[in-house]
Chains A and B, each alone.
Chain A
Amino acid sequence: MTTDTRSNGTKPLVKVRDLRMWFPIRRGVLQRHVGDVKAVDGLNFDIYPGETLGLVGESGCGKSTTGRAILQLYKPTGGSVQFGEHDLVAMKGEELRKMRRQMQMIFQDPYASLNPRMTVGSIISEPMEVHGIGNRTQRLERVRELLAVVGLNPYFINRYPHEFSGGQRQRIGVARALAVNPEFIVCDEPISALDVSIQAQVINLLEDLQSQFNLTYLFIAHDLSVVRHISDRIAVMYLGKIMELADRDELYRNPMHPYTQALLSAVPIPDPVVEEKRKRIILEGDVPSPANPPKGCNFCTRCPKVMDVCKEQEPAFKDYGDGHFAACWLYPQ
């Protein structure tokens, strides 16, 4: 379990405890409840103000669900999410809606996440209208300002999303998230749909905005090189659970969990000389279904270092010093 404060006394902005998000499986005419897809199953972590926490994992591991459950876009099955002093899971209706001003989201698909029938101006000003910020002229002024901030021409205010390229649309999505001056932004794979040369533009933009407005990010991605570039700390997810969480450099220098080790070794490095010498840990098989996770450690079916105990009991998620958490039987429990 994470401690409440850091050694330097900063309190976490977001505190996630035992977060569970299960989706029920219903069968038959009577829609009987026959089981659950355990998309997120008992997560514990903190996000500190001004930092970027990277959340990596393969598709279907529950990383996007985690982001959505934190923002209460799904009502979590169990656990708590503390945002500052407030418990978001206990909040409802109007109270929760007001909280949303402080937490926003940037979505993966810049094509699907912008309404094609709205102009860029109304897309970006909508969150301000919803939260009753400013009057019409002030909002328009703010939209122009935001367009400039994300590197678009303020002159584009009356254009429609289809007139923009993927990278530009993602900038519009970023501007919309910034419109209400949030403290915390969940970036759900914001660059995976973009071309390589455009990806770098958006990463640089997100970094600039963070230092400019002191934003806190939860950065969800499947690309470890990108996550390493942008994050301060990184959590590695597998099948609904966090396997390892550590400072960025520590995680890459000293990965403790066999899954992290395999994941890191699988990432290709754009240098043929390095690639020649690298040894890969090739994982066998596929990720098991989250509706029927294996007994014991979730990774035991693919782990190259699997032991008997792994198939019986779940390892504890423990701090092995300096905030390096891991859940693995290879280390003293």
Chain B
Amino acid sequence: MARLLEVKGLETRFFTQDGVVHAVNGITYHLDESETLAIVGESGCGKSVGVMSLLRLIPMPPGKITAGQVWFGTGDDRKDLLKISNEELRQVRGNRIAMIFQDPMTSLNPVLTIGFQISEALILHLGMDKEKARQRSVELLELVGIPNAADRLDDYPHQFSGGMRQRVMIAMGLSCNPQLLIADEPTTALDVTIQAQIADLVKRLRDEIGMAIIWITHDLGVVAGLADRVMVMYAGFIVEEALVKELYANPRHPYTLGLLGSLPRLDATRAHRLTSIEGLPPDLIELPKGCPFYARCQYRIDICAENNPRLEPVAPGHKVACHVDVAKVGAARAEAAKAGAERAA
């Protein structure tokens, strides 16, 4: 598979009254054609700002992309999205890279019909006439599973339910056959049965159309069934990156371990106490000098306070930013606990 997207050292800052918010701190990653990459993290970890920066969609000012390159495209049309003109970027947005947002209630215009909103991109980017755009809109609505698509074209957003609106958003996203679909927490506002419908729909469309997907979420559950590769973010840094099975089988960063431990599982044989991550994420205005996770980490050693570890490969396709080999320490601790228990017995 050819490389579709290469992000190098992307750095986004917000210059506010209270100080400089270090939202994204030099992240580097890539995405292949028709690959699904999930970006996981908690609110404020920079996952949304990170992808919004790719399309220069952050409010500037106060935001500013202070460093980095975003190479998008294959072969001859490969360009740095941070360098091209606004005019050129407009040709990319909504056309080659489409985006769907978390809240389907607020990302549709309430005073325009669904049909108009879908046709808009078709007329603008693909130069279709009104009649053709309308036909294509019906096809798209059918594709995302909206019943009586032709009749619903003249309905307004408030006449659709939350799940249906998200389907409309997806139809709009797909309208120009994008090479890359960025989905920013698309199922978070939805109920679990509707969430399953949407995840299922995206999987089916991906297989049919073959686009690449960046799926942003805080839900490690949804990611498990959907992604090829997962990236975990914390305080604007990538702390771990691995193929999906590898990440769940061998989590190597203490934060990833903590996240997995704090999730109650539906299939767990018996309810055990959840291992919570104590404390709070760091203030992005005054980032700590060393590892951003230092204050909450159970595995920390002295060097972590001084030196922020770089994202280094630990296994094929598996990168971690941590000074400690968590697996080794964990095993040693389990051993010690066992020995202690035996001694007590």
Using a CB–CB cutoff of 8 Å, the interface residues on chain A facing chain B are 58-59, 165, 167, 195-201, 203-204, 207, 222-226, 228-230, 248, 252, 262-276, 278, 280, 282-283, 286
A286 partner residues in chain B, CB cutoff 8 A: 161, 163-164, 194
The smallest C-beta distance from B247 to any residue of chain A, in angstroms, reads 8
- 8 A-B pairs closest in CB distance: A268-B221, A200-B262, A200-B276, A229-B264, A275-B225, A266-B196, A58-B191, A197-B277
Q: Which residue of chain A has the shortest Cβ distance to B272 in the bound complex?
A: A229
Q: A226 to chain B: which residues have CB within 8 Å?
A: 264
Q: Is B266 within 8 A of A252, CB to CB?
A: yes
Contact of A266 among B163, B195, B220, B224 (CB under 8 A): B195
Assembled-state Cα–Cα distance A264/B267 (Å): 10
Inter-chain CA distance A203–B274, complex, in Å, is 8
- Which residues of A lie under 8 Å from residue B142 when comparing CB positions? none
User: Roughly how many angstroms separate A276 CA and B225 CA in the complex, as a whole number?
Assistant: 7
| Interface hub of B260, B274, B277 (most chain A Cβ within 10 A) | B274
| Distance of B314 from chain A, by nearest CB (Å) | 19
> A197 contacts which chain B residues (CB < 8 A)?
42, 258-259, 262, 276-277
Q: Tell me which residues across on chain B come within 8 A of A268, comparing CB atoms.
A: 195-196, 199, 219, 221-222, 224-225
Q: Out of A203, A230, A266, A272, which one reaches B244, CB within 8 Å?
A: A272
Contact between B191 and A59, CB atoms less than 8 A apart:
yes
From A165, A195, A252, A272, name the one whose CB has the most chain B CB atoms within 10 angstroms.
Answer: A272
> Which of A222, A225, A262, A263 has the largest count of B CB atoms less than 10 A from its CB?
A225
7 pairs, CB–CB < 8 Å, chain A vs chain B: A58-B191, A196-B42, A201-B278, A225-B265, A267-B266, A273-B249, A282-B196
Chain B neighbourhood of A203, CB < 8 A: 264, 274, 276
**A224-B266 contact, Cβ under 8 Å, with A165-B280, A204-B273, A229-B271:** yes
Contact assessment for B197 and A283 in the assembled complex, using a CB-CB cutoff below 8 Å: yes
Measured CB to CB, the closest approach of chain B to A192, in angstroms, equals 11
A282 to B262, CA, bound (A): 27
- CB-CB contacts below 8 Å: B109-136 with A: none
Residues of A near B200 (CB, < 8 A) are: 280, 282
Which A residues are in CB contact (< 8 Å) with B225? 268, 272, 275-276, 278
Question: Which residue of B191, B195, B260, B273 has the most chain A CB atoms within 10 A of its CB atom?
Answer: B191
Within the complex, the shortest CB–CB distance from B43 to chain A, in Å, comes to 6
A-chain residues with CB within 8 Å of residue B259 when the two chains form the complex: 196-197
A residues less than 8 Å from B331 (CB atoms): none
A271-B276 CB under 8 A given contacts A58-B191, A252-B266:
no
Contact B42 A270, beta carbon cutoff 8 Å = no
Determine the residue in chain B with the shortest Cβ distance to A165. Answer: B280
Report how far A207 CA is from B225 CA in the complex, Å: 30
**Which among A203, A271, A280 has the highest number of chain B CB atoms within 10 Å?**
A271
In the complex, whether B329 has a CB less than 8 A from a CB of chain A is no
- Say yes or no: A58 contacts B221, CB within 8 Å: no
A205 to B72, CA, bound (A): 47
Chain A contacts of B218 at CB under 8 A?
Answer: 195-196
Give the complex CA separation of A134 and B341 in angstroms.
Answer: 47
> Across the interface, which residues of A come within 8 angstroms of B164, CB to CB?
286
Q: Which residues of A contact B196 (CB under 8 A)?
A: 265-266, 268, 280, 282-283
Cα distance A269–B224 in the bound complex, in angstroms: 7
CB–CB A273/B280 < 8 A: no
**CB-based contact A273/B274 at 8 Å:** no
A195 to B267, CA, bound (A): 22
